Amino acid sequence: MLKEKKARIVSDLADDLSRSTIIIATNYQGLLAKQMADLRNALTKAGIGYHVVKNTLVYRAADQVGKPHLKDIIEGPVALAFGYEDVVSTVKTLNQYVKSSALSLQIRGGLLGDRILPPDELVILANLPPKAVLIARLLGQLQAPVVTLHNILGFPLQGLLTVLQKRAQTASK
C-alpha cells in the first residue's frame, strides 16, 4: 500500500512538473498551519499549485519528466509552487503575497525551462510590468519609425497644399 501511494504521489508530481511553465522552491519552515492554508488558498485562486513535497519523491518525478536541474534548488524541507500559465504573474503573485502578509517564507530559487533562477532573478521577474503592457510598449517601438517616415514624407505635401490653398484664396479675392 505504501509503495502504491508513493507511486501515485510521484505520478502526480510528474504531471505537475510537466505541465508547469515555472517551478518555485520555497522554505516553509516557521509558518503556522493557518498561514500555510491561507497561502495555499491565495495561490490556488491565482491558478498556482503549492505543495509540500518529499525531496526523494520530487527527484524521482523530475527524472521522469526530464527536469534534473530541479534537484539543484531542492534541499531540506521544501514546498513547490507550480505556475501553469504566465511566468511573471506566478512569481508576482507569490512575491506580493509574501510581502503583504509578512510571512517568513523564503524563496530558494526557481526553474524556468532548463534554467535555474536564483531568488534575486525571481524578484526581477516579479517587478516586470504585465504582459499586455510589454506588448503595447513593443508595438509602440515598432510603430515609431513608420510614423516618423509618414511625417517626413507628408510634410512637403502638406506644405504644398497650404501654398496652393493660400494661392487660391488670394486669386479669388
Go through the chain and tell me how many residues it has: 173
Strands in 78-83's sheet, in edge-to-edge order, are: 48-53, 78-83, 22-27, 106-112, 115-117
Q: Phi first, then psi: give them for residue 108, nearest 5 degrees.
A: -90, -30
Give percent above pLDDT 90 in the chain.
Answer: 8
Q: How many helices (H) and strands (E) does the chain have?
A: 6, 5
Q: How confident is the model at residue 23 (pLDDT cuts 50, 70, 90)?
A: very high
Indicate if 47 and 122 belong to the same structural domain.
Answer: yes
Mean pLDDT for all residues in the chain:
86
Q: What average pLDDT does this structure show over 138-163?
A: 81
Residue among 68, 69, 70 nearest 81 (CA): 70
Indicate if 120 and 155 belong to the same structural domain.
Answer: no
**Per residue in 50-75, pLDDT tens?**
989 898 999 999 989 988 888 888 88
Q: What are the beta bridge partners of residue 48?
A: 83
Indicate if 86 and 134 belong to the same structural domain.
Answer: no
Indicate if 48 and 14 belong to the same structural domain.
Answer: yes
pLDDT reported for residue 169: 85
pLDDT reported for residue 72: 86
Q: How confident is the model at residue 1 (pLDDT cuts 50, 70, 90)?
A: low
With residue 17 as reference, give the H or E element that holds it. Answer: helix 2-19
Indicate if 55 and 6 belong to the same structural domain.
Answer: yes
Domain with 145, as residue range(s), is: 129-173
Indicate if 14 and 60 belong to the same structural domain.
Answer: yes
Is pLDDT at 132 greater than 60 in this prediction? Answer: yes
Indicate if 111 and 134 belong to the same structural domain.
Answer: no
Is pLDDT at 155 greater than 80 in this prediction? Answer: no
Indicate if 55 and 116 belong to the same structural domain.
Answer: yes
Q: What average pLDDT does this structure show over 115-125?
A: 89
* Beta-carbon count within 10 A of 66 CB: 11
Indicate if 112 and 137 belong to the same structural domain.
Answer: no
Q: What average pLDDT does this structure show over 136-163?
A: 82
- Three-state DSSP class for residue 135: helix
pLDDT reported for residue 75: 86
Indicate if 139 and 105 belong to the same structural domain.
Answer: no
C-alpha cell at 64: 521522469
* pTM for this entry: 0.73
What contacts 110, CB < 8 A, 6 or more positions away?
22, 23, 24, 25, 73, 91, 116, 117, 121, 122
pLDDT reported for residue 24: 92
How many structural domains compose the chain? 2
Indicate if 30 and 77 belong to the same structural domain.
Answer: yes
Domain boundary among 95, 110, 128: 128
Indicate if 162 and 119 belong to the same structural domain.
Answer: no
